Amino acid sequence: MTVRKWIVFSVTAVGLLFVSVGCQEQAKSKSKPFKVKLDAKAPASAVVLFDGSDLDSWRNFNSFAGLVDFNSYITTEKIAVVYLSGQLWSDESQDAFLQIGSDDGVKVWLNGEVVHANNVLRGHKAGEDKAAVKLEKGWNILLVKVTQGGGGWGFSVRLVDKDDNVLKNISEKNPATVSSKGTRQYMDACSGYLSLWAMSGPYTMQGKGPQQLFDTEFSPEKADERSTWQAIGIEEPDVAAKWNIVDGAMEVNPGTGSIITRKKFEDFKLHIEFKTPYMPEAKGQARGNSGVYLQGRYEIQVLDSYGLDSKDNDCGGIYKVAKPLVNACRRAGRWQSYDIAFYAPKFDAAGKKIKDAVVTVYQNGKLIHNNVSIPSPTGGAKDHDIDQPGGIYLQNHGNKVQFRNIWLVEL
């Protein structure tokens, strides 16, 4: 029996210092401001998430159901492309739309014809691209090509009708079996996203960057029988965390996926300490990359950004939302802290959102975000169920970032 894997995604490290800010919820809270340092002791009311002894409070997970995280299977850092092949059964001939997310560029063939191509450098966001397609009655063959320019590397797709309703009269073939029948089991578990694939690659060519490789034909798109494929899919969701414990700290284990707390939270104060590895040969997003996701949806970036003019994708940044007020980073190899006050989105009685998520962040005792509203989940979010509580998710980006002394006070 083939083992199915939860496919993983990326995170940012977090530490925590809470101070009062101007939002209404904080004004009502009776929690007092406090100053937090490295090795800060968790108060009696805290939920201790990691004290250096075990990873029992954490589990591995798929960053969101249906995300194919190629870094779970390919651990070498290189500029490259990878291919996915899938077979889809349709009960009838019908018009449909592909909702596509990719990190980085993506090209999609349906039954041998290119139906979508977007040669970009970007982080994954589910459904960012949309392509109209015509499904034939019976089996349809999907071929996907995804480029890698560094950092995250992933893909997701599901099929919907013109009103964005997930198609129910389709099923996918499991490439790990010889069955001629399609299955809905995994699609239903993944909110309609296709999750049973065969993967080929990585492929690269000396002297070419990711956007040049996008239009370079490799054997899978030539229907070359010499191409080698491996079946990939999903795994049981409650698998134990596979990171390592090194000298009392948890350390990212490249190729094993991200981790998330088993317990879920709403409003909270979080303290977390992190250390990025010294990677003098790496550049940009490949330099000690990880992330701390609040409720599994809102990322505070972890990166070696010492001495930089910080952007929203540098350490402490909230990707595409806000850059840090100041660069508070220490050098790689030194412990740092995030102290975070987080307030989840608020909804009225009819379920309409009336207030965005709000966050205040201190890094190493310095204020880097003050009462910042986050309108929607950031790239790599576990899900978009913003009206539900969520866990603390730490991203595996393939770099051996370490975390320690993680605790949380619920509000």
Q: Which segments of the chain belong to CATH 2.60.120.560? A: 24-64+237-410
The predicted pLDDT at position 155 comes to 92
Cis peptide before 104 (omega within 30 of 0): yes
The predicted pLDDT at position 1 comes to 38
Backbone angles phi, psi at 283, to 5 degrees: -135, 155
Q: What percent of the chain is helix, strand and coil (3-state, nearest 5)?
A: 5, 40, 55
Q: Which CATH number fits domain 68-232: 2.60.120, 1.10.3470, 3.30.300, 3.10.450?
A: 2.60.120
Helix (H, G, I), strand (E, B) or coil at 59: strand
Which CATH number is associated with domain 24-64+237-410? 2.60.120.560
Q: How far apart are CA 192 and CA 171, in angstroms?
A: 10
Query: For the chain, what is the radius of gyration of the CA atoms?
Result: 21
Task: List per-block mean pLDDT (blocks of 10 residues) for the chain, which spans 411 residues.
Answer: 36 36 35 59 95 93 72 76 94 95 94 96 87 95 93 88 92 75 81 90 90 93 84 65 94 86 96 95 87 96 93 94 96 96 96 96 96 93 87 91 97 93
Please report which residue ranges of 198-266 form alpha helices under DSSP H: 210-213
Are the C-beta atoms of residues 387 and 351 closer than 8 Å to each other? Answer: yes
pTM summary value: 0.60
Are the C-beta atoms of residues 267 and 409 closer than 8 Å to each other? Answer: no
Q: How far apart are CA 373 and CA 359, in angstroms?
A: 7
